Structure 1
Amino acid sequence: MPRVLLIDAAAPSGGVLGQGLGREGFEVVVAGDGPTGLRAALHSAFDLILLELAVPGLSGCQVVQRLRAQGVDTPVLIIAAKDGEADQINGLDQGADGFLRKPLSVPLALAQIRAMLRRRRLDSRQPRPYRVGGLVVDPLAKQVSYAGCPIRLSPREFELLHVLASRPATPVSKTELLKLVWGGTEAASANAVEVYVGYLRRKLRTAGADHLLRTVPGRAYQIAVDVNVRPSSR
């Protein structure tokens, strides 16, 4: 079931667009202001974000800008007034992927959403770099950089960081890391995770990025959202 985040102060229950998405089989999460929508987009996984530009707290353009700066590449369709060309241009320049004109034609909007999700599925067949602020993890090239400077990792360290960076701000347990990086608890112990997290933390520290790798109470680790990218001094 595709999962859609609708950020729109004028549609507390989703409105006609949310109802249309529900009839199409989508799971719709509604946020009524910019800060709430931003938090939802940062801490939950969505297939698509629908964003009204004129939302309170943070403008739609600010929401898109912060999402892209923090590595969230979920497709964003902005909802803009017919005569708001400058706002539409600004939203696209900040990282939105397209826009829907108001007043909305629900059938046309649903067709655009389906087309965007089809393109997203095709694109997902090729591994893309994960970006969390200044951290870039490229699974195809097996390369990592922070603030433009490369970080050399062993294959195991890379796989560990790859898993964590693919789920920014989401705690990943040692048991799950053992399964995804080592192939299961029979291949290694929880101590191996701790050892390699230590290796990885030291290399991130050298690059000025150790603030990203955090230990979560309850035997888990996560890559934190990188709000302030620290420029390299090298």
Structure 2
Amino acid sequence: MIWDRALFSNTLLSAELSQKMMTANLGHYGYGVKTGAVSLDGQQAIKFVAHGGQIFGFSNFMVHFVDGNNLIVLLCNGGSRPKRAHLEIAKILYGISDDEPHGSEHSEAAFSGQDSEIDADPNGENPSFQLSTEALEAFVGTYQMPDGKTLTFSIQGDHLVGKPSGQRPAELFPLSPNRFFLKVVAAELEFNTNSQGQVESVTFFQKGRSRTGKRIQ
């Protein structure tokens, strides 16, 4: 696409603004685009910039692989695009013959009800942070989101696990004493406390948006 080539050749934006656009500052989002890296062969991580959207009857998705300067655009009739189609196309572009892209085992993104746009590896960007099992106990419970669905958190082994109603559970990884990220999808959660220090709600961050659910149990 002419527009894509202009955007990534510093024609539309200066090199400084392009760098800011592609630098994550809210989860995995830069200025209007998702950024990260994905491994198609289980070895080398390929940097990407991506964006997508949908309206009644149509959906679209665009991903620019910075390493190799390749662009994939999906335009689909219907409410959602084919799952992981961009990854299958990317394997062809990069000459990878594996049956499945490594690091992309989850075609359905936990906590979203939809397939993730691209399976980034948050662990490569987020700092490690350790919490004791006792500290994790404070978050255990059920939280009701604005749409009426619930998120239930429990401890399995020494990890906090979250399970949305009607979906499979996913392990959470701490970023700070009260903020966590997921590896199965680019999303984060933050537990909020009241003036007494008790956890009363959880805020879910994904795709530049946030939703807060009140603790009900």
- Pair member with larger Rg: 1
Please identify which structure carries the higher strand content.
2
Provide the TM-score with structure 1 as the length reference.
0.29
Provide the TM-score with structure 2 as the length reference.
0.31
Please identify which structure carries the higher helix content.
1
